[in-house]
A and B are shown apart, each in its own frame.
Chain A
Amino acid sequence: MTEITEVPSPFCGIGTDDLSIKVEGLAVTVTANGCAVNTPAFEQPISDTAPRIAGQTASLEAAVAKAAELLRDTRQPVIGGCATDVNGMRALLALADKAGAVVDNINFNAARRNLLAMQDSGWMNTTLAEVKNRCDLLLIIGTDPEVFAPRFFERFLWNEHAMFLESTDQRDVIYLGKTPAGKAAVSPAGKTPTVLACDDADLPDVVAVLSALVRNQPLQVETVGNIAVSALQKVADRLRQARYGVVLWSAGKLAFEHAELTVQTICNIVKDINMQATRCSGLPLGGKEGDYTANQVCGWTTGYPARVNFARGYPEYDPFLFDSQAMIANGEADALVWVQAYNATATPPRTGLPTIVVGRSGMQLEPEPDVFIPVGTPGIDHAGHVYRMDSVVALRLKKLRDSGLPSTAEVLNAIEQAL
């Protein structure tokens, strides 16, 4: 038995790196600093160790050869999922470049809401250590961080020491949109957050009104989405009074049409506050299971975030056209590679196309794909790198056990070589 401390997690998106983990043979147990997201993800047992071809156990070499054969004469393969570490993404992009494939990150439709806003007008954002030490006002729009990352408040808001606040109890938390599910947003001294709840459908209007108030624009309405404009005025005033306000949103939770416009409005609120004699920063919550990793590695490799098509021999970026699910549904694709090294429940879309799954051990697949290759999980079965939610900090993941499972990179490199 070994006990490994200061273990970083690729699962929670907030870059938790203080887990203690006990390893006995192949069994992994989180002994300290676990949470509802991380503990089950680390502790999931290994159930598959051998690749399969059409449901029959096969050697890795045979499975790789079969995968290459399936991809060899394709005209428009798609590689979906893209849930892996930096080396896995490097190999995935090399394979896509050679095969002329579409690369499509599993969470791109959510990330797109941020990317479209960023690519149209930009933003002013911050990272977690700045929140931990500087934030005196946290405005949360349309999401509940404690559901996404149970330790968010404990680690970054109610930390014992903050460099630039006498006490973290001085912090104010305002929810706009969602009502918190639990008590994580209540300060250790018992200070409760302000909650201005509304339906998701009303969020674009509510955010637009807040933006107008920040810009001191006259408004005719008195309520919006059942929230009094006077309450929103107080929010605008608080943003102006804060020394370092932080506005948090999660693109994945803004699941309504043209949410990119709401993201853009949020980003503009932040910019406007910075022109009004104080500081303010945005903080997009996300980054679970390597989805920011996919965008980062694709970014430096191709110049674009991770929804690109290599069919013409060079990367093309279209955040809508190259949606792999739509392409499969429309009959535009002729093979599917599904890469998901973190989450055994994130299975590929159902399709009659030739399908190769490079997935976490234990993935239940129905129907059985043409090729299934179980791979190790980054940060458990092999070392690696993964980006956390602020897209700035890359974590060095540790190898915790010797499972013998290959890494995503090893498998995809082998398929690329065989192609």
Chain B
Amino acid sequence: MLIKLTGGTIYDPASGIAGQQQDIYIQDGRIVEAPEDGRPVDREYDLRGKVVMSGAIDMHTHIGGGKGNIARTLLPEDHRADPVHRTHLTRSGTGHAMPSSFVTGYRYAEMGYTACFEPAVLPINARQAHMEMGDTPIIDKGGYVMLGSDDFLLRMLTAKKDQKAVNDYVAWTLNAAKAIGVKVVNAGGINAFKFNQRKLELDEQNAHYGVTPRQVLQTLARAVNELGVTHPLHVHGCNLGVPGNVDTTLNTIEGIDGLPMHLTHIQFHSYGTEGDFKFSSGAAQIAEAINKNKNITADVGQILFGQTVTASGDNMRQHANHKFASPNKWVCMDIECDAGCGVVPFKYKDQNFVNALQWAIGLEIFLLVEDPWRIFLTTDHPNGAPFTSYPHLIRLLMDRSFRNDMLATIHPEAQKMTTLASIEREYSLNEIAIMTRAGAARIIGLKDRGALSPGNFADITVYTENDNRETMFSKPDYVFKDGELVVKDGEVVKVTWGTTHIVRPDYDLSIENELKPYFDKYLTMKLGNFKISDDEISEDGRGSLTTHPLHIGV
């Protein structure tokens, strides 16, 4: 079937198109050139006066993996307030802070998103992550596998194994867990917590291994780069949420030796210690460092006010923060000599000084980082806020008077501690398209996605222009996924199943000569049973794997 999208105003930063009227043709799931053979168009959509972008991509959202299910189980009261009815087309479920998997897929698609990436796939829990994402309809998915607090890597570092051996282990893990990138959370800190360390500075040694977070970061960043994995090491830094951690973050940026590194939910790592409350914004320094260091990318992890739940691998920091749990209940787990997790409900309040300033710090970073190709729109769902708040966040970025109206309502001392009111920048539609589409596809290494030129998959979102950007981005007119119309007027009209994006870097098979006895001796699963096979993703007839090439010339 040949589909024509006629006369839309195109924002396709990957092709350098910013607001030009242009037709798009779709065939067999992909965008194609205008047919020259006079073939009739089977279906035409008149998009004159409408804004057309590729499907949005959330490069950091917790939609799969055990901690999400712990968060769900922990908060029945939150689900009761947001029941989602079954329709003739869609499954029932529940929503809000940590929606059920089907609802997650529907709601992302209804906002114009067509791909989402789970950033904390524990190797031992990767099966669950894929199974949950396998029950998340419409959107494509993928995951970054978590390393850095696993005993095997720390043992390697203590034993001063060479970089090649580490690279083999990292590549083996990427293959075994079916991931597209590598994440590190509080490098070595989750492990240190198991030895009763309650904090771990960048250059502080693990009590058992003697290894420092900086060593872990440098080794893993090098491994990712040398393996040719496009997505840079995805780093959740040390000292999350600790006043004064801006220094740690700046030190992390300086200390990575120019290697590519992505700093995630950087808002939570941009705090100073000035002022009466010993809590201040480090946003200006962080933005300056990002502007200066071209090897660094970041996503914000914006907080927005209201009830949510924080779900993190960083159980060291989550345990420290449990006293702020609201409602007052929380879960921490140590997991399989591999990692851990901490789930703590939070209610961010605009009249709480710290929360209000966190809100401002996130926005400051968004607005002070100059290059939209290197900063990404996230709330670290559900940690800063549920993903359903994205349209509101987009309005805050695009509409200065709205932003300042909101600023005027928050805790007065927080207003005094932020420069937000003086920042005049308003994001353009093209910049939004960069940070939520073209840039996201580029940083993850997705080929054929996030762009509207012929050859790309037809993941396309169509909006009606509206000065109220929250309204505009809440309810697209049309969303096409792989060329099929899946959402019309903000509601799902067809349920499809996206693909799982992965990389498969080569490695020296002899790494299993070390891994197998380690599994037999210390772990609780056989090496052969640990590795996820391709058919586990595809056997139910819905899922599929899309392998992306590695970058060459390393």
Contact = CB atoms under 8 A, between A and B. Distances in A.
Q: Do A and B bind each other?
A: yes
Contacts of B127: 385, 394, 396
A6 B85 contact: no
B328 interface: yes
A219 interface: no
B72 A304 contact: yes
Nearest to A397: B529
A395 B331 CA distance: 23
A16 to B, nearest CB: 9
Interface in A370-397: 383, 385, 391-396
B100 A302 contact: yes
B403 interface: no
Given A122-B330, A124-B332, A124-B333, A243 B196 contact: yes
A288 interface: no
A122 B329 contact: yes
Interface string A119-134: 1111111111110111
Contacts of B35: none
B278 interface: no
Contact of B124 (A124, A274, A392): A392
A301 B102 contact: yes
A86 B286 CA distance: 45
Interface string A48-86: 000000000000000000000000000000000000001
Contacts, number: 190
Contacts of B533: 396
Contacts of A391: 66
A15 to B, nearest CB: 6
A315 B92 contact: yes
Nearest to B533: A396
A149 to B, nearest CB: 12
A169 interface: no
B151 interface: yes
Contact of A314 (B73, B94, B131, B135): B94
A119 B68 CA distance: 14
Interface in A79-99: 86-87, 90, 94, 97-98
Interface string A4-29: 00101000000101100000000000
B338 interface: yes
Given A122-B331, A278-B196, A304-B76, 4 more contacts: A122-B330, A127-B336, A161-B522, A301-B93
Interface in B98-153: 98-102, 124-125, 127-128, 131-132, 135, 151
26 contacts: A6-B528, A18-B526, A86-B131, A87-B540, A119-B74, A120-B329, A124-B332, A124-B333, A125-B334, A126-B335, A130-B336, A163-B337, A243-B195, A243-B196, A300-B69, A300-B132, A303-B72, A303-B76, A303-B93, A310-B92, A314-B83, A316-B80, A317-B80, A392-B124, A392-B128, A393-B524
A350 interface: no
A122 B74 contact: yes
A274 B94 contact: no
B39 interface: no
A155 interface: yes
- Residue among A160, A302, A310, A316 facing the most chain B CB atoms (10 A cut-off): A302
> Which bracket fits the contact residues of B?
35 or more
A124 B528 CA distance: 30
Interface of A: 6, 8, 15, 17-18, 86-87, 90, 94, 97-98, 115, 118-130, 132-134, 155-156, 159-164, 243-244, 274, 277-279, 281, 295-297, 299-305, 310, 313-317, 383, 385, 391-396
A227 B319 CA distance: 33
Contacts of B400: none
Interface of B: 66, 68-69, 72-76, 79-80, 83-86, 91-94, 98-102, 124-125, 127-128, 131-132, 135, 151, 193-196, 208, 319, 325, 328-338, 343, 521-526, 528-529, 532-533, 536, 539-540
B521 A160 contact: yes
B311 to A, nearest CB: 13
Contact of B536 (A127, A315, A392, A396): A396
A319 to B, nearest CB: 9
A6 B529 contact: yes
A7 to B, nearest CB: 9
B101 A395 contact: no
A221 to B, nearest CB: 30
